[in-house]
Amino acid sequence: MDALDKFKRNQREGWAHFAPLELVTTAPAAQLVRFAGVKSGDGVLDVACGTGVVGVTAARLGARVTGLDLTPELLERARENAGIAKVAIDFHEGDVEKLPFDDNEFDVVVSQYGHMFAPRPDVAIAEMLRVLRPGGTIAFSTWPPEMLVGRIFALGASYAPAPPPGVSPPPQWGDPNIVRSRLGERVKDIRFDRATMIVPVLSPQHQRSTAERVGPMRKLVEKLSAADPAKLEAFRREYDALVGEYVHDNMIQQHYLMTRATKV
């Protein structure tokens, strides 16, 4: 297995327990679907669909939705969510860096905090634009590096082994200048907006205990707890101090970037 395959296998394992967080990604899903201008009858691809929050929202508007994700456990929950909502969605297990779809197949390609985790941004965006028809809309939500979630990813990375060469930090996708250069001449009419995810928490430690169970931090904590408990304690102290800056009135406001563009 090469280094990138191993990286993706780790990602898949790291996201496997993410389903409970659909409670907080559901409202932002509606923001993204509205921002993307999804209409009834549109063919929509939800990239890195996770539990299907964006896809189900689009399907409830009458769009014909396809969802793709790396993590089978989340696709299982996505299928359940589609069934509960009584919408038909075509879900696929797969990798955004190698989409199993034809050129120009979709009217809209969306991703909520999803494609940003592909290791090679140039490969992921080339694939997303390949399957989008000319005149179609690409839209995504991403975590900026200077905001809380971006800072948490940077902190986690500073305690984790270095990724394979060529892997870009996910929060780079939250920088409008980088987004512009990655989209390049293949799109026109780039628009940005900002929105906020509200996360209820009782304390910084309460937020961390959730993050340690449901996200990619789970693997980091498992590793440090076995290999270097003192380092784990240092990580937890830094984490709590960082999150503590953002807890007000028993909630955290997690600001994010939305990007929309038209394929030329």
Ligand X SMILES: C[S@@+](CC[C@H](N)C(=O)[O-])C[C@H]1O[C@@H](n2cnc3c(N)ncnc32)[C@H](O)[C@@H]1O
Give me the residues that bind ligand X (CB under 6 A), please.
8, 11, 15, 18, 22, 25, 48-51, 53-54, 69-71, 74, 95-97, 112-114, 117-118
Residue 95 C-beta: closest distance to ligand X, Å? 4
| Residues in Cβ contact with 218 at an 8 Å cutoff, skipping those fewer than 6 apart | 14, 17, 212
**Closest alpha carbon to 29 in 20, 38, 40:** 38
Q: Which letter does DSSP use for residue 100 in this model?
A: -
Residue 251 C-beta: closest distance to ligand X, Å? 19
Q: Which is nearer to ligand X, 25 or 259 (CB)?
A: 25
Residue 231 C-beta: closest distance to ligand X, Å? 25
Q: Which is nearer to ligand X, 23 or 234 (CB)?
A: 23
Q: Which is nearer to ligand X, 54 or 152 (CB)?
A: 54
Residue 240 C-beta: closest distance to ligand X, Å? 21
For residue 35, CA distances in Å to 125, 172, 182, 194 come to 19, 21, 20, 11
Q: Which is nearer to ligand X, 80 or 228 (CB)?
A: 80
Cβ atoms of 107 and 36 closer than 8 Å: no
Distance CA(160)–CA(111), nearest Å, equals 26
